[in-house]
Structure 1
């Protein structure tokens, strides 16, 4: 369920950009981005929330809206994510010596059309990946990929907030689970359930690798009045939704589900669109959480 911002994703996760944005001045830090006075006023002066009736309809139509997203964009929207390799050290990956000789078993939650799965399978022969997505259409795209191999990957449709992962994945069998631009697309009231669901299938000491939208990201400031669903929670024109996390709120969610924080930091960077002459601040949260022993 890889998410997109506004009408399209300016995070350079997208392969649909016509102007090839460049990235510079990237840094990791513990504090949120400081807003300008104009930005702060814009957020504070937008108290209007989408009506309860429309919010209920958005929740009921959530799967349909993501299915329509993949119908429109097919497999062409996102770039392959080679940086997600779980044997790479640092906050974007995982380095554990015992995995060098044994098979790594992982879950890609919100796999989309496989932009993370297939680079991983190509780079690492000693790995098995469970891959699930909210959208049945996205799962079908994964299965239709020429690199899909049932001996090394199992793709299945799943709503992390209500379907039991144990129906497909054995209890305490995973070394790693990834949540890459996934939790932000889930209603805040249901995020806890999704994390508890993943907790059950991780081995003691298993790791969740997390990357998602951070508080005051440029995409959050681009939403027009009438798009706000709740605190830090917005709806796009296509009906898909996005939440913007503070590191404190994210840590609280994971701690309540039984995880320990290993890394939890903002990644601040600027992207420039040379064609449009624009420079925009991006804010992501990049984190690692461990299931307690």
Structure 2
């Protein structure tokens, strides 16, 4: 295995956060408004180009989701209906379907190319999965998913690709298709993650507070616990779980240690 992750030592974490704060505070570079608007406007196009270049080879399958989110485990023959937003090429969808026989998954992404790859996968079965193209911030999910019908929505590293001013639209969109009592299972990049430190040290990467652009034009936002909770609670959700996950990642091939910070949460639509 090329990569190993262990819990971060508290002293190492303290040192990392201090270093991250200094790097972010020292990032005074400004991206011209024209380019900020261009990157935000062309988000779907840039992700489509990303999948054209990387096909299904970039992201690893997410076999850890059952361990982190027990709600995915189907009990008996009772069907659980889930929507995966920002499904990419199916790195969550296909492992989840294999591990949970009574799970049905709707899967959407705003990259047409990614959705095509999901549908062309040998494991794609319309009896258990329905994939469709959708921009969460614009297109009503109810065009493909019945209102108030879902037990779960998985949002794994997808909201970080959405500009802050559009996140409320995406959250309201999800709210309409969840059942009362249904959950959003959330994981994404946390404030002071090593990737944010690298962005802060580079030139012309910061578009807004905690929002950066990668070399390929795709966006990356970094959440604090407070920021994340306030966004979902403002749209009517109840915060059930919300916290940081700290990992010291070792890339054995490159002999490189990287400090990762993720934020993980569960939000519930009130009964």
TM-score, normalised with respect to structure 1: 0.86
**Aligned residue in 2 for 1:66:** 47
Residues 1:113 and 2:89 aligned together: yes
Q: Return closer, same or farther for 1:153/1:41 CA change in 2, 3 Å cut-off.
A: same
CA contact (8 A) 1:33 1:268 kept: no
Aligned length: 267
Give the Cα–Cα distance (whole angstroms) in 1 for the partners of residues 183 and 70 of structure 2: 8
Number of the residue aligned with 2:231: 253
Would you say 1:178 and 2:154 are equivalent positions? yes
Shift of 1:34: 6.0
SS at match of 1:132: strand
Structure in which a larger fraction of residues adopt helix: 2
**Contiguous gaps of at least 5 residues in structure 2:** none
- Among 33, 44, 52, the alignment partner of 2:33 is 52
Q: What is the deviation of 1:101?
A: 3.4
Match of 1:276 in 2: 254
Unaligned runs of 5+ in 1: 1-18
The answer on 1:263 being equivalent to 2:244 is no
Name which of structure 1's ranges 118-127 and 225-234 shifts more when overlaid on structure 2: 118-127
1:20-75 Cα offsets, whole Å, 9 max, x none, are 122122589xxx96645554332212122211101111122111100000001001
Residues 141-178 of structure 1 deviation map (CA, whole Å, 9 limit, x = unaligned): 00000111111110000000010001110000000000
Range 73-82 or range 208-217, more displaced = 73-82
Identify if the C-alpha distance between structure 1 residues 23 and 52 changes in structure 2 by more than 3 Å, giving closer, same or farther. same
Distance 1:288 1:194 in 2: 16
Question: In structure 2, what is the Cα distance between the partners aligned to 1:208 and 1:100?
Answer: 22
Alignment check: 8 A CA contact 1:107 1:129 kept: yes
Aligned counterparts of 1:33 and 1:161: Cα–Cα separation in 2? 36
Q: Name the CA distance, whole Å, in 2 between partners of 1:230 and 1:254.
A: 20
Runs of 4+ in 1 over 2 A off after TM superposition: 25-28, 32-42, 94-101, 273-278
The two structures have a TM-score, normalised by structure 2, of: 0.93
Q: Which residue of 2 is the match for residue 207 of structure 1?
A: 183
Aligned to 1:77: 58
8 Å CA contact retained: 1:110, 1:133: yes
CA distance in 2, matches of 1:39, 1:167: 42
Structure with bigger RCO (C-alpha 8 Å, 6+ apart): 1
